[in-house]
């Protein structure tokens, strides 16, 4: 099995990190930006960023979308849907049909 060489990178905030992929996400910045509570804290980094990049930061905003629409966002996968459904249900909300 071949492994790609890891390249040293520096993010705009000056954090140094190694990555073998072309993903620009700095692990240090990612840890700093992860919410400690709320429904976004339940999600993986890619899923959380998928919602944030589409302007979805509240459950009310999330409820305006269907599950199909959410799954089209880059970084969002089916494993996140049960967590989102549960968070919506707790607030008396659901995905749009």
* Residue 19 confidence (pLDDT): 85
The answer as to whether 10 is a domain residue is no
The answer as to whether 69 is a domain residue is yes
The answer as to whether 54 is a domain residue is yes
The answer as to whether 8 is a domain residue is no
Q: What does the pLDDT look like over 19-68, one tens digit per residue?
A: 888 777 777 877 777 777 899 999 988 899 999 999 999 999 999 999 99
* Residue 84 confidence (pLDDT): 97
The answer as to whether 47 is a domain residue is yes
By residue range, what is the domain housing residue 94? 38-97
Instruction: Lowest mean pLDDT of 4-13, 22-31, 81-90, name the range.
Output: 22-31
The answer as to whether 72 is a domain residue is yes
How many structural domains are present in the chain?
Answer: 1
* Rounded distance between C-alpha atoms, residue 52 and residue 40, angstroms: 9
Residue 87 phi/psi, 5-degree rounding, is -65, -40
Query: 60 with 93: CB under 8 angstroms?
Result: yes
The answer as to whether 22 is a domain residue is no
How distant, in Å, are the alpha carbons of 19, 20, 30, 33, 36 from that of 6?
5, 4, 19, 24, 30
* Residue 3 confidence (pLDDT): 60
Q: What is the pairing mode between strands 7-10 and 16-19?
A: antiparallel
The answer as to whether 84 is a domain residue is yes
pTM: 0.72
């Amino acid at each position: 099995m071949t492994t790609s060489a890891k390249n040293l990178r520096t993010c705009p905030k000056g954090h140094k990190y190694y990555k073998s992929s072309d993903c620009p996400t700095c692990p240090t910045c990612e840890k700093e930006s992860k919410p400690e509570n709320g429904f976004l804290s339940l999600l993986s980094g890619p899923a959380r960023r998928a919602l944030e990049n589409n302007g979805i930061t509240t459950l009310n905003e999330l409820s305006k979308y269907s599950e199909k629409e959410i799954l089209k966002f880059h970084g969002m996968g089916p494993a996140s849907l049960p967590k989102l459904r549960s968070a919506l249900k707790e607030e008396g909300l659901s995905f749009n049909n």
